[in-house]
A and B are shown apart, each in its own frame.
Chain A
Amino acid sequence: MGILQWLETTAVADAVRTIPWLYPALESAHYIGIACLVGGIMLIDLRLLGVAKKLSIDLMVTLLPWVWAGFVINAITGGIIFIYGATNFGTSSAFLLKMLLIVIAGINAFIFERMARSGRHSWVLAGAAPAPVKAVATFSLILWIGVVTTGRWMAYV
Chain B
Amino acid sequence: MGFLEWLQNTPLAIFVAETLWAYPLLETLHTLGMAMLLGALGLINLRVLGYKPALSLIGTKDLLPVAWIGFTINAVSGLLLFTSDAVSFFSSNTFRVKITLIALAGINAAILSRRIYAEAGGAVSAGGGDTPNKLLAGSSLVFWVVAVICGRIYAYYPFYSF
Contacts and interface: CB of A to CB of B under 8 A. Distances in A.
A48 interface: no
A151 B156 CA distance: 18
A35 interface: yes
A39 B38 contact: yes
Contacts of A151: 31
B39 A42 contact: yes
Contacts of B63: 43, 51-52, 55
Nearest to B26: A152
B24 A54 contact: no
A156 B43 contact: no
B99 interface: no
B21 to A, nearest CB: 8
A28 B56 contact: no
Interface stretch (A3-11, A56-64, A101-109, A117-125): A56-64
A52 B155 contact: no
Nearest to B34: A35
Interface string A64-93: 000000000000000000000000000000
Given A24-B152, A39-B39, A156-B24, A148 B56 contact: no
A68 to B, nearest CB: 15
A54 B56 contact: yes
Interface residues of B, number: 34
B153 A34 contact: no
Interface residues of A, number: 32
B109 interface: no
A55 B59 contact: yes
B60 interface: yes
B24 A34 contact: no
Given A34-B35, A55-B60, A55-B62, A27 B152 contact: yes
A124 to B, nearest CB: 14
B36 interface: yes
Interface string A114-157: 00000000000000000000000000000001001101110110
B35 A46 contact: no
Contacts of A27: 152, 155
22 contacts: A24-B153, A31-B31, A31-B152, A35-B35, A39-B40, A42-B39, A46-B66, A52-B66, A54-B62, A55-B56, A55-B60, A55-B62, A59-B52, A60-B55, A63-B43, A148-B28, A148-B31, A151-B31, A152-B24, A152-B31, A153-B28, A156-B20
Given A32-B148, A59-B55, A62-B52, 6 more contacts: A34-B31, A40-B39, A51-B66, A148-B32, A152-B24, A156-B23
